[in-house]
Structure 1
């Protein structure tokens, strides 16, 4: 088992899975369909191409810097006739950072890694208005998704670290293993074809949080303060 690790950071990200009509929402963490779409774009796949090999990958994500929710109220005019288009609300994550992991056949991961080094199409963090960071590729880890997510150094910014506790716990969300109970998400891409998009269900569980020391914390080192925090 081998895992490919991605660094997802930028001014804006948007990972929708339940958006309808004029309200475009975002999840609090990258979706499997969104990250697999990014990998498909790197390979140069067309929206009508098969996704079976990508959908079969195991997926997980670590929330290193949750960011803040931003709502953008948008208007538009049809340039062809000057008519107003429906008003829409679009939600984004601002100043967030994540580590995403996909695990599967090592030969296939070689192909994906090469594609990320020289992507065929532009890469986005969930939406076209959110371009991906150039240092998206972290590398490979010789283990499963959760083990790999525990191996990566904290990716948060220095300013964010200063606002956190002296010991931090980074949440991990991953595909459920056989027999595990979790939350159902319709988040496995079957087709990105705009004429007939289809998604299948997956079960998501919270893995073991990653515990890290935070030497950049501005919290007091007073023993009484730390005792209170531990209760």
Structure 2
């Protein structure tokens, strides 16, 4: 089975899992529900179409650039009933970059790759107001998601990469069983983001187990720390006064 790697980057992203009513939160990394929804949109599926063939895909995501959490306070005018406004808070990740891996049967992965390269509907990163910056598809790999993300190059934006060390430690989150057992760093948690239906009249999501680990990657643009010390490049401004004596 092949793994399709995706670069999820944009000015804003929002991956809600527990959003309720007027408070729309975001996870700190892409949700499986959000990525499968993007794939379904690329394939031209309607919200009422079945997602059965996508539910067996194995999913992992690497956090190359965590971004920052931003809050948008909104008000909407209510025209029906008593006059007034309805406030809401919406949270976004700004300037974040993720690399996601989707694994499945070769034919299914090839179809997903073609759809993401030529999407039927516009792609967005969690919400319609969050389009991706640049192409989403990186390419396919013969290995599983963990192995593919372990060797895939660092995809952070240059401005961020230049502020990081030459070797970076990145968080990786994945479906239970994707990360080799000795490499799992924390106890698995459950997250309700497996989409059973996107129908507006009956949205349904199931639970999945999420495991976490860290990966070490080389950062070609990394900042090199220069320390002063003895040698030909040591500068002592007091030497000039000593020579004048």
Same fold (TM over 0.5): yes
1:4 and 1:84 map into 2 onto residues whose CA distance is 48
Greater Cα offset, 65-74 or 176-185: 176-185
The equivalent of 1:61 in structure 2 is 61
1:63 and 1:102 map into 2 onto residues whose CA distance is 15
After superposition, the CA RMSD in angstroms is 2.1
The equivalent of 2:217 in structure 1 is 212
Q: Deviations over 1:43-70 (max 9, x none)?
A: 0001111111111100000000000000
| 2:7–2:136 contact (8 Å) kept in structure 1 | yes
**How do 1:27-106 residues align onto structure 2 when only pairs under 5 Å count?**
27-78=27-78, 83-106=83-106
| 2:64–2:154 contact (8 Å) kept in structure 1 | yes
TM-score (norm 1): 0.90
Total equivalences in the alignment: 223
2:143 and 2:83 map into 1 onto residues whose CA distance is 55
Q: Deviations over 1:138-191 (max 9, x none)?
A: 010001110111232111111111221232111111001199751000110000
Q: Which has the larger radius of gyration?
A: 2
| 2:9–2:97 contact (8 Å) kept in structure 1 | yes
Matched, 1:201 2:178: no
1:28 and 1:44 map into 2 onto residues whose CA distance is 27
> 1:80 offset after TM fit, Å?
7.7
Matched, 1:185 2:191: yes
The equivalent of 1:14 in structure 2 is 14
TM-score (norm 2): 0.85
Q: Deviations over 1:21-76 (max 9, x none)?
A: 11000000000000000000000001111111111100000000000000000011
1:73 and 1:98 map into 2 onto residues whose CA distance is 26
The equivalent of 1:229 in structure 2 is none
Secondary structure of 2:71's aligned partner: strand
Unaligned runs of 5+ in 1: 225-231
